[in-house]
Amino acid sequence: MKLRTVMSASVAAAALTVAGAASAETMRIGITQNNVGVDSYQTTYEQAFIAAAEANPDVEVVVLDAGGDVARQIAQMEDLIQQDVDAIIIWPTNGEAVIPAVRKASQADIPVIVTNSNIAEQGFDFVASFSGPDNITQGARSAEIMCDRFKELGIEDEAQIVQISGQPGYTTAIERAQGFEERLPEVCPNVTLVETQPGDWNREKSQQVMEAFLVKYDDIDGVYAGDDNMGVGALNAANAAGRTEGITFVGATNFAVGYEAMERGEYWGSIYQSPVDDAEAALQTAIDVLSGEDVPFLNYFDTPKITQDNMTEFTKPVF
């Protein structure tokens, strides 16, 4: 068994990083990530995960990356089951398609921890715990940031806002929009959300959407973007049209560009979500599950509000 582990590990050597030292009580935890390198969040996540594992002498990790490919992720799940790791952490490439592989792991008595974005509900039975941000709460908090700002400006009874959401069909995009749209009428019942269009997590696409909004609506008081990357795209469009003044920009997942725009006073607020917290929470959840501790099924880590008022309490994001 030992030899087989070593062999299969060396076969996949290009994709593998093995950290930590083997010993009798060592927990062997495998992780298959979504797509490292596609953006800075995922790159930082991987670095933080490996660092956290190296810092813990009781943990040995097998780090894999699916490169955004569902088929490869399913194969990696099977590899990890073959290697008989103690627990598997998965960052799903697709919330539906990975369920059979997750079920297989669960049937092999290997607890599965889902990280960052959850799988679809029909797979919940096979999952030990989900560790990640609460996107609905993030959306709700963005609504509160927006509303509080309108109250400061005294326009909470007439403000009109537009929303630029993430890629259609993605859970994160849907949940943030849902959280925002549900919370806004509770805190600011007279603010109107006049239109929502997707920016596909893409700054350039978001800029085009905002250009169209600026043509279509003469009065825009606020823009809610599903992440700061898109928020900055919208800000660029408003800057080009000379209409930044008087528009409150609120995003989510504070990026370095968003943080800088806040420093310049052009961008109002966002949600601070650290990939380091995300990675450490995932590893800790796996350790807690293996140690037999009582872990909630939805094990959220906190993602606080950040605005121009309190931004000095936060370090500038590295991504």
Partner 1 sequence: MATMTKKDIGGFLARQGILVAFALFIIGFTIANPKFLTPDNILSVVRSSAILGVMALGVTFVVISGNLDLSVGSMMSFSTIVVLDLHDTLGPTMAIPAMFAMTLALGALIGFLVGYLKLNSLIVTLGMLSAIHGLTLTYSGGKNMDIDDKSGTWLSVFGQGQIAGIPVPILIFLALAALLGIVLAKTPFGRKVYAVGGNGVAATFSGIRRARTVFLCYLMSAACVATAGLIQASRSMGSQNTVGQGMELEVLAAVILGGASLLGGSGTIFKTVIGVLILGFIQNGLLLMGLQFYAQFVVTWVIIILAVWLDIAAKRGRLWSPIA
Span from 82-90, 111-119, 131-139, 208-216 in contact with partner 1 (CB under 8 A): 208-216
Candidates 158, 204, 263, 302: give the one binding partner 1 (CB under 8 A). 204
Binding to partner 1, residues 142-171 (CB under 8 A): 168
Rounded to whole angstroms, the Cα distance separating 123 from 25 reads 30
Span from 2-10, 108-116, 181-189, 204-212 in contact with partner 1 (CB under 8 A): 204-212
Where do the DSSP E strands lie in the chain?
Answer: 17-19, 27-33, 59-65, 87-90, 112-115, 129-132, 160-165, 192-198, 222-225, 248-250, 269-271, 298-300, 305-307
Name residue 156's amino acid. E
Identify which of 281, 319, 295, 240 has the alpha carbon closest to the alpha carbon of residue 111: 295
Identify which of 163, 85, 172, 80 has the alpha carbon closest to the alpha carbon of residue 133: 172
Beta carbons within 10 angstroms of residue 209's beta carbon? 26
CA angle 96, 97, 98 (to 5 degrees): 95
Is residue 319 a contact point for partner 1 (CB under 8 A)? yes
Task: Decide whether 197 or 307 has the Cβ nearer to partner 1.
Answer: 197
Is residue 181 a contact point for partner 1 (CB under 8 A)? no
How near is the Cβ of 216 to partner 1 at its closest, in Å? 5
Task: Decide whether 73 or 207 has the Cβ nearer to partner 1.
Answer: 207
Candidates 186, 216, 298, 310: give the one binding partner 1 (CB under 8 A). 216
Is residue 254 a contact point for partner 1 (CB under 8 A)? no
Span from 9-17, 145-153, 179-187, 210-218 in contact with partner 1 (CB under 8 A): 210-218
Name residue 81's amino acid. I
Q: What is the largest CA-CA distance in the chain?
A: 69
Binding to partner 1, residues 29-48 (CB under 8 A): 36-40, 42-43
Task: Decide whether 45 or 126 has the Cβ nearer to partner 1.
Answer: 45
Q: Crossing angle, helix 40-54 and helix 275-290, to 10 degrees?
A: 40
Tabulate helix, strand, coil % of the chain (nearest 5).
45, 20, 35
Is residue 203 a contact point for partner 1 (CB under 8 A)? yes
Candidates 116, 118, 131, 207: give the one binding partner 1 (CB under 8 A). 207
User: Which residues of the chain form contacts with partner 1 (CB under 8 A)?
Assistant: 36-40, 42-43, 168, 195-198, 202-204, 207-209, 211-213, 215-216, 229, 232-233, 236, 240, 255-257, 319
